[in-house]
């Protein structure tokens, strides 16, 4: 684990409680960074801290991030967000959203379709320091018409075009997105869009992420179409045809999970309901991945950011290490990137988040306006992307630094 050399570090994350689900480490350690990669993880790396100097060998000095009393985790991976600014409505700029929230990899969930993926690469992937990946929408127009209707005309659901777009963009295109919501998004097409998406996913060799929330058929029927590794997002939606029907967790949930279907939070503006969550977890049904469904409405409303969404599950009784896993290693595994993302490992790109875990006396609000106690808060104190320190929470509409009132005063949405 310790790959020390005598060369000074560029950055040191000092004395945090390292929680790394990939290695199982949960102990106080220093994490050292050199040339954008993790150079060492050890008890005490203070002898590798340098002051700026001009004499040979020159060094700009070591940036020291004081993580004592805080938690050092792999850079967070948000599996569901909307960041194609300038093309899709209601999106948020990736760097502004991620630099203050510990997120170093953000996955655009269907913003771009085959016809708009090149622009997405040029503007969004290349235009942000945050690592941006994409579920390519099964509809060639993506979410340019968000929130309505991209799968009403099946002529837009072109398997050949989506498969070609993914094959030509393997570095950023990690899956396929489809939204099953009737009649708003799929019209009278029932489950045909998800069938087409799975066919494309099979040909391209990538997972399919299905948005539910008013799906045109029972969730059990929909999930029978999914393969192991395919993802149901908005899994705790209060809309009809969800995980909980008639006040009970549907039997098909356990069947699908045993088969390997994945359940993602995708909190969003309307898709996280405490009544549904509590019914599900009473049956032992915790989410596989915790994601925000960040967009302009959810970011300034019930979601805030990914650490706050993680904290909701922490307060519901999910152990910290599992909460961290669900927002780091697990999403990385699902998109086939766990060889490089979601871990803290010497030699890997230094994507690191420092979080504070603090006692609190307030409330969280869900997407239906229900409130629950917020006894512990998770907040990003530092976001380090490829070895560069972004900083912690910054003044931002709806989440002013130094004031936590936005947590308690979120409107009932």
Binding residues for Zn ion (CB under 5 A) = 109, 293
Distance CA 399, CA 378 (A): 14
C-alpha span between 251 and 261 (Å, rounded): 14
CB of 293 to Zn ion, least distance (A): 4
CB 354 within 8 A of CB 67: yes
Least Å distance between CB 352 and Zn ion? 26
CB atoms within 10 A of CB 218: 15
Q: Which DSSP string corresponds to 335-365? A: TT-TTTSS---TTSB--EEEEEEEEEEEEEE
Question: Closer CB to Zn ion, residue 36 or residue 147?
Answer: 147
Minimum CB distance to Zn ion, residue 331 (Å): 15
Q: Which two tokens stand for residue 50?
A: 């340098």
Given CA atoms 285, 286, 291, 296 in this order, what sign does their dihedral have? positive
For Zn ion, the closer of residues 109 and 280 by Cβ is 109
Q: Which residues contact 348 (CB under 8 A, 6 or more apart)?
A: 37, 38, 340
CB of 176 to Zn ion, least distance (A): 14
CA-wise closest residue to 177 among 229, 142, 216: 142
Residue placing its CB nearer to Zn ion in the complex, 269 or 364: 269
DSSP characters over 214-233: S-SS-HHHHHTTPPTT-EEE
* Burial category of 388 from C-beta neighbours within 10 Å (exposed 0-12, middle 13-18, buried 19 and up): middle
Question: Judged by CB, which is closer to Zn ion: 132, or 374?
Answer: 132
Min dist CB 294 to Zn ion, Å, is: 8
Measured from the CB atom, the residue of 294 and 323 that comes closer to Zn ion is: 294
Closer by beta carbon to Zn ion, 108 or else 328: 108
Give least dist CB 182 to Zn ion, A: 17
Q: Could you tell me the smallest distance in angstroms from the CB atom of residue 82 to Zn ion?
A: 6
C-beta of 288 vs 293, nearer to Zn ion: 293
Q: How far is the CB of 10 from Zn ion (least distance, A)?
A: 36
Pick 83 or 353: Cβ nearer Zn ion: 83
The single-letter DSSP state of residue 329 is H
Compute the least distance from the CB of residue 14 to Zn ion, in Å.
37
Which position's Cβ is nearest Zn ion?
A: 293
Q: Which of 366, 377, 370, 367 is nearest to 405 (CA)?
A: 377
CB closer to Zn ion, 33 vs 81? 81
**Which residue shows structure tokens 């093309």?**
87
Spatial distance between the Cα atoms of 354 and 328, rounded to a whole number of angstroms: 13
């Amino acid at each position: 684990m310790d790959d020390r050399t005598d060369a000074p570090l560029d950055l040191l994350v000092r004395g945090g409680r390292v929680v790394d689900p990939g290695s199982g480490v949960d102990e106080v350690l220093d994490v050292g960074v050199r040339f954008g990669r993790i150079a060492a993880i050890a008890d005490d790396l203070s002898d590798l801290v340098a002051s700026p100097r001009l004499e040979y060998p020159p060094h700009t000095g070591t940036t020291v991030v004081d993580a004592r009393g805080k938690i050092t985790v792999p850079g967070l991976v948000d599996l569901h967000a909307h960041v194609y600014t300038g093309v899709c409505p209601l999106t948020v700029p990736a760097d502004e959203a991620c630099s203050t929230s510990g997120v170093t990899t953000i996955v655009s969930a269907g913003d771009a379709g085959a016809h708009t993926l090149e622009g997405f690469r040029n503007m969004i992937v290349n235009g942000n320091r945050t690592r941006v990946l994409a579920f390519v929408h099964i509809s060639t127009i993506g979410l340019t018409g968000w929130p309505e209707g991209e799968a009403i005309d099946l002529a837009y659901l072109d398997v050949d075009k989506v498969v070609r777009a993914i094959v030509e963009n393997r570095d950023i295109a990690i899956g396929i997105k489809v939204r099953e919501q009737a009649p708003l998004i799929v019209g009278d097409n029932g489950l045909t869009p998800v069938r087409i998406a799975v066919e494309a996913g099979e040909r391209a060799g990538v997972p399919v992420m299905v948005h539910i929330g008013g799906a045109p058929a029972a969730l059990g029927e929909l999930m029978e179409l999914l393969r192991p590794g395919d993802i149901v997002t908005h899994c705790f939606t209060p809309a009809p045809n969800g995980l909980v029907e008639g006040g009970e967790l549907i039997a098909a949930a356990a069947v699908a999970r045993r088969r390997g279907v994945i359940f993602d939070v995708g909190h969003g503006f309307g898709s996280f309901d405490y009544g549904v969550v509590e019914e599900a977890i009473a049956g032992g049904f915790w989410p596989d991945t915790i994601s925000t469904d960040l967009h302009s409405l959810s970011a300034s409303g019930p979601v805030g950011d990914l650490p706050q969404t993680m904290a909701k599950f922490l307060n519901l009784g999910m152990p910290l290490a599992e909460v961290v896993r669900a927002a780091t290693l697990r999403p990385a595994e699902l998109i086939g990137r766990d060889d490089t993302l979601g871990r803290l490992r010497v030699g890997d790109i230094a994507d690191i988040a420092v979080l504070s875990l603090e006692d609190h006396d307030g409330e969280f609000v869900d997407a239906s306006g229900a409130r629950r106690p917020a006894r512990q808060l998770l907040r990003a104190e530092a976001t380090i992307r490829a070895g560069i320190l972004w900083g912690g929470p910054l003044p931002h509409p709806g989440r002013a630094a130094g004031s936590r009132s936005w947590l308690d005063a979120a409107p009932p949405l």
